[in-house]
Amino acid sequence: MACLPPLWDMNVAACNVYLMVQKQYIMSMNGPIDLNINAIMKVIETYEIPNKCECLEMVLMLGRHMIGVMREKEKGVSTQSSKQPM
């Protein structure tokens, strides 16, 4: 696992919300395309997170980044498995 930098105070709420909704994907035939905004907003409202719009934007940004990371890993696995030794 990579060494992670400390979490800034301004990002703690968004990180906590993301951890609660990280598997609430909107799916396509090719895998996840985004996080479900309804799930994010439900958590934000339930936990009475201040700055709702800012938190939503940060969670979506984090979710899109993580989906990109997943896709990059899948590409690496699929290109490696498609190579046959000669």
How does pLDDT run across 71-80, given as a tens digit for each residue?
A: 999 888 765 5
Average pLDDT of the segment spanning 42-63 = 97
Domains in the chain: boundaries: 11-67
Question: Is 85's pLDDT higher than 90?
Answer: no
Average pLDDT of the segment spanning 61-75 = 94
Instruction: State the Cα–Cα distance between residues 71 and 73, nearest whole angstrom.
Output: 5
Question: Is 50's pLDDT higher than 70?
Answer: yes
**How sure is the predictor about 2, in pLDDT bands with cuts at 50, 70 and 90?**
low
* DSSP letter assigned to residue 50: S
